[in-house]
Amino acid sequence: MPITVSIVEDNDQLRATLAQVIQRAKGFQCVSHYPNAEAALEGLSKDRPQVVLMDINLPGMNGVECVRLLKQKLPDTQVIMLTVYEDTENIFNALAAGATGYLLKRTSSAELLAAIKEVVEGGSPMTAHIARKVVQSFQKPVPAPSPTEELTPREKEVLDYLAQGFLYKEIADKIGISYETVRTHIRRIYEKLQVRTRTQAVAKALGR
Amino acid sequence: MRIAGWIKAVVAGLGLVICQAQAQAAARSFVHGGVPYWVDVWETDDGLPQGAVLTIVQSRDGYLWLGTLSGLVRFDGLQFEVFDESNTPGLNSGWVVCLFEDGEGHLWLGTETAGVAVIADGQVHALPVPLPGAERRLAAACQDATGTVWLYTANGELWRCGRDRTNSFLVERGLPSLCRSMIAESNGRVWVGTDWSLSALAPVPDAGSLDLPVQTNLSVRQLDLLLASRQGGFWCLAEGHILKWTTNGLVDFGTYPWGPVRPSAACEDGEGNLIVGTLGAGLFWFDVTGQPTQVSTNQGLSYNYILSLLMDREGNLWVGTDGGGLNRIKRQAFQTLEPTAGRVVQSVSPHPAGGLWIGFNAIGPEAVGLMYWSNGWIQPFGPRDGLLSPSVRAVHVDSAGQLWVGAWGRRGAGLFHFQAGRLRWVADPELRNREISVIYQDRRGELWLGTVSGLVRWREPHCQVFTTRDGLSADDVRALAEDSQGGLWIGTRGGGLNYLRDGVFTVVRKQPDGLPSDEIASLWMDAEGVLWIGTFGSGLARWQAGRWTRYTTREGLADNNIGYLLEDDQGNLWIGSSAGLMRVAKADLNALAQGQKRTLAVRTYDKADGLPTRECTRGSQPGPCRTSDGRLWFPTTKGLASVNPTQLQPNTNPPPVLIRAVLVDGHLQNTNPLQTRPLGTLIIPPGKERLEVHYVSLNLGAPDRARFKYRLEGHETAWTEVGNLRVARYSKLPPGQYRFQVTACNEDGLWNPTGTTLAITVQPPVWRRWWFLTAATAAVLGVVVALVHYLSTQKLHRQLEALRQKEALERDRARIARDIHDQLGASLTQMSLLGELIEADRHAPDEVAAHARQLSQTARDTTRVLDEIVWTVNPANDTLEGLVNYICKYAQDYLAVAGLRCRLELPAQVPAADIPPDVRHNVFLAAKEAITNVVRHAAASAVWVRLELEPAAFTLEIRDNGRGLPSATAPASGTRNGLRNMQRRMEDVGGQFWIGPGPTGGTAVRLTVPLRQARRC
Mutate to test the interface with A, among B865, B885, B946 (most CBs of A within 10 A): B885
How many angstroms separate the CA atoms of B409 and B416, rounded?
A: 13
> Nearest CA to CA, how far is A3 from chain B (Å)?
26
The burial of B691, by beta-carbon neighbours within 10 Å (0-12 exposed, 13-18 middle, 19 or more buried), is given as: buried
Question: Tens of pLDDT along B209-223?
Answer: 666 778 888 878 889
How many angstroms separate the CA atoms of B601 and B342, rounded?
A: 31
Under an 8 A CB cutoff, do A85 and B870 touch? Answer: yes
Instruction: Report the run of H or E that residue B459 belongs to, with start and end.
Output: strand B454-459
Question: Tens of pLDDT along A136-173?
Answer: 777 776 665 565 667 888 888 888 888 888 888 888 88
Query: In chain A, which residues have their Cβ closer than 8 Å to the Cβ of B893?
Result: none
Q: If you average pLDDT over residues B712-719, what whole number do you get?
A: 88
Residue B871 forms contact with A (CB below 8 Å): yes
Under an 8 A CB cutoff, do A128 and B863 touch? Answer: no
Query: In chain A, which residues have their Cβ closer than 8 Å to the Cβ of B959?
Result: none
Identity of the amino acid at B634? F
Residue B252 has pLDDT above 60, yes or no: yes
Query: In chain A, which residues have their Cβ closer than 8 Å to the Cβ of B877?
Result: none
Question: Please, are residues B297 and B304 in contact by the beta-carbon 8 Å criterion?
Answer: yes
> Nearest CA to CA, how far is A70 from chain B (Å)?
28
**Same domain, residue pair A106 and A7:** yes
Q: Domain containing A16 — which CATH number? A: 3.40.50.2300
Question: Tens of pLDDT along B148-186?
Answer: 889 998 888 888 887 666 777 766 556 788 888 999 988
What's the predicted TM-score (pTM) here? 0.59
**Same domain, residue pair A94 and A60:** yes
Query: In chain A, which residues have their Cβ closer than 8 Å to the Cβ of B903?
Result: 164-166
Q: If you average pLDDT over residues B517-527, what whole number do you get?
A: 94
Closest CB to A136 among B886, B901, B908: B908
**Same domain, residue pair A151 and A58:** no
pLDDT of residue B11: 39
Query: In chain A, which residues have their Cβ closer than 8 Å to the Cβ of B901?
Result: 165, 170
Q: If you average pLDDT over residues B499-527, what whole number do you get?
A: 92
**Same domain, residue pair A95 and A195:** no
Name residues 834-863 of chain B within 8 A of A (Cβ): 856, 859-860, 863
Q: If you average pLDDT over residues B776-787, what whole number do you get?
A: 84
Where is the domain boundary, A85, A120, A155? Answer: A120
**Same domain, residue pair A105 and A157:** no
Q: Higher model confidence: residue B929 or residue B868?
A: B929
Under an 8 A CB cutoff, do A128 and B860 touch? Answer: no
Single out the residue of B471, B477, B505, B503 nearest to residue B491, CA to CA: B477
pLDDT band at A208 (very low <50, low <70, confident <90, very high): very low
Question: Tens of pLDDT along B49-97?
Answer: 999 999 999 999 899 999 999 999 999 999 999 999 888 888 888 899 9
- Cis amide linkage into residue B734, ω under 30° from 0: no
Q: If you average pLDDT over residues B494-518, what whole number do you get?
A: 92
> Nearest CA to CA, how far is B946 from chain A (Å)?
10
Under an 8 A CB cutoff, do B903 and A165 touch? Answer: yes
pLDDT of residue B850: 85
Q: Where are the domains of chain B?
A: 467-647, 657-768, 789-845, 877-1010
Q: Higher model confidence: residue B844 or residue B520?
A: B520
Closest CB to B888 among A84, A106, A128: A128
List of residues 6+ apart from B52 with CB closer than 8 A: B68, B69, B307, B320, B321, B322, B323
Instruction: Report the run of H or E that residue A158 belongs to, with start and end.
Output: helix A153-163
Closest CB to B905 among A129, A135, A164: A164
Let me know if domain B657-768 sits in CATH 3.40.50.720.
Answer: no
Query: In chain A, which residues have their Cβ closer than 8 Å to the Cβ of B888?
Result: 128-129, 165
Number of domains in chain A: 2
How many angstroms separate the CA atoms of B638 and A11, rounded?
A: 70
Q: If you average pLDDT over residues A185-191, what whole number do you get?
A: 84
Give, in degrees to the nearest 5, the angle at Cα B243 between B239 and B244.
Answer: 155
How many angstroms separate the CA atoms of B338 and B990, rounded?
A: 95
Under an 8 A CB cutoff, do A85 and B908 touch? Answer: no
> Nearest CA to CA, how far is B852 from chain A (Å)?
13
**Same domain, residue pair A7 and A77:** yes
How many angstroms separate the CA atoms of B946 and B958, rounded?
A: 6
The mean predicted confidence, pLDDT, of chain B is 86
pLDDT of residue A57: 85
Q: If you average pLDDT over residues B975-999, what whole number do you get?
A: 84
Closest CB to B860 among A106, A127, A167: A106
In chain A, the percentage of residues whose pLDDT exceeds 70 is 90
Question: Tens of pLDDT along B886-920?
Answer: 888 888 888 888 888 888 888 877 877 888 888 88
**Enclosing domain of residue A201:** 128-206
> Nearest CA to CA, how far is B882 from chain A (Å)?
8
Question: Please, are residues B455 and B472 in contact by the beta-carbon 8 Å criterion?
Answer: yes
How many angstroms separate the CA atoms of B611 and B580, rounded?
A: 9
Where is the domain boundary, A104, A120, A136? Answer: A120
Residue B759 forms contact with A (CB below 8 Å): no
Residue B479 has pLDDT above 90, yes or no: yes
**Same domain, residue pair A70 and A135:** no
Name residues 877-906 of chain B within 8 A of A (Cβ): 882, 885-886, 888-889, 892, 896, 901-906
Under an 8 A CB cutoff, do A84 and B867 touch? Answer: yes
pLDDT band at B23 (very low <50, low <70, confident <90, very high): very low
How many angstroms separate the CA atoms of B249 and B934, rounded?
A: 118
- Looking at B512-631, which runs of residues are DSSP E strands? 520-525, 531-535, 540-544, 547-551, 562-567, 572-577, 580-585, 602-605, 625-626
Residue A96 has pLDDT above 60, yes or no: yes
**Same domain, residue pair A176 and A74:** no
pLDDT of residue B246: 87
**Same domain, residue pair A145 and A187:** yes
pLDDT of residue A206: 59
pLDDT of residue A54: 92
Beta bridge partners of B520: B535
Cα B604 → chain centroid: 20
Q: Which residue of A has its CA nearest to B891?
A: A165
pLDDT of residue B210: 63
In chain A, the percentage of residues whose pLDDT exceeds 90 is 13
Query: In chain B, which residues have their Cβ closer than 8 Å to the Cβ of A167?
Result: 896
Single out the residue of B961, B936, B942 nearest to residue B904, CA to CA: B942
Question: Tens of pLDDT along B678-697?
Answer: 666 788 888 888 889 999 99
Torsion of CA B860, B863, B869, B873, to 10 degrees: -150
Please provide residue B737's backbone torsions phi and psi, each rounded to the nearest 5 degrees. -100, 135
The mean predicted confidence, pLDDT, of chain A is 83
pLDDT of residue B162: 75
pLDDT of residue A202: 64
Residue B264 has pLDDT above 80, yes or no: yes
Q: Domain containing A161 — which CATH number? A: 1.10.10.10
Q: Which residues of A touch B (CB under 8 A)?
A: 84-86, 88, 104-106, 108, 127-129, 132, 135-136, 139, 163-167, 170
Q: If you average pLDDT over residues B700-715, what whole number do you get?
A: 89
pLDDT of residue B889: 85
How many angstroms separate the CA atoms of B780 and B546, rounded?
A: 75
**Same domain, residue pair A103 and A27:** yes
Query: In chain B, which residues have their Cβ closer than 8 Å to the Cβ of A137?
Result: none
Helix, strand counts (H, E) of chain A:
9, 5
Closest CB to B889 among A84, A86, A139: A86
Pick the CATH number of B467-647 from 3.40.50.720, 3.30.70.120, 2.130.10.10, 3.40.190.10: 2.130.10.10
> Nearest CA to CA, how far is A93 from chain B (Å)?
16
pLDDT of residue B679: 63
**Same domain, residue pair A53 and A149:** no
pLDDT of residue B622: 92
> Nearest CA to CA, how far is B948 from chain A (Å)?
14
Mutate to test the interface with B, among A11, A88, A130 (most CBs of B within 10 A): A88
Q: If you average pLDDT over residues B771-775, what whole number do you get?
A: 82
Residue B12 has pLDDT above 50, yes or no: no
pLDDT of residue B1014: 44
> Nearest CA to CA, how far is A149 from chain B (Å)?
20
> Nearest CA to CA, how far is A30 from chain B (Å)?
23
Using left for φ > 0, alpha for ψ between -120 and 50, and beta otherwise, residue B758 falls in beta
Q: Higher model confidence: residue B288 or residue B877?
A: B288
Q: At the topology level of CATH, where does B877-1010 sit? A: Heat Shock Protein 90 (3.30.565)
Under an 8 A CB cutoff, do B871 and A85 touch? Answer: yes
Query: In chain B, which residues have their Cβ closer than 8 Å to the Cβ of A132?
Result: 885, 906, 908
Closest CB to B902 among A132, A163, A165: A165
Closest CB to B908 among A108, A129, A135: A135
> Nearest CA to CA, how far is B905 from chain A (Å)?
6
In chain B, the percentage of residues whose pLDDT exceeds 70 is 94
Under DSSP, the state recorded for A151 is P
pLDDT of residue B478: 94
Please count the residue pairs, one from chain A and one from chain B, whose beta carbons lie less than 8 angstroms apart: 53
pLDDT band at B18 (very low <50, low <70, confident <90, very high): very low
Q: Which residue of B has its CA nearest to A165?
A: B903
> Nearest CA to CA, how far is B523 from chain A (Å)?
56
**Same domain, residue pair A86 and A26:** yes
